[in-house]
Amino acid sequence: MHLRWVMGNGLEPRFPTSATGGIGVIAIKDGVRNGETIGARQIEEGDQVGLITDSGGLGRTEAPEIPQLGRNTQGVRLYCVE
């Protein structure tokens, strides 16, 4: 199982859920570069990820196709929002 965030600029960090001793983690920072947090979900490997923009753009991908990165990264471009 993984935790995923989608940011306003289309970036999406992903990392596994694991025991953190109850202290939590900083996943990604909101701001001008990343945009605001659009949503966060816990997903499994067989799931699909879909996005719909305000202007009607659509994007969909299989969960395993998005690479898993470390917690100190910005994420991968899931959808180009321009």
Q: 3-7, 12-16, 52-56, 72-76 — which one is most confidently predicted on average?
A: 52-56
Phi/psi class of residue 56: alpha, beta or left (left: φ > 0; alpha: ψ in -120 to 50)? Answer: left
Q: Does 48 or 10 have the greater pLDDT score?
A: 48
Summarize pLDDT for 20-45 with one digit per residue, the tens: 566 766 666 667 777 777 777 787 87
CA angle, 36 then 49 then 37, to 5°: 10
Q: What single string gives the DSSP state of each residue in 38-60?
A: EEEEEE-TT-EEEEE-TT--EEE
**Mean pLDDT value of segment 52-80:** 65
CA distance 22 to 13: 21
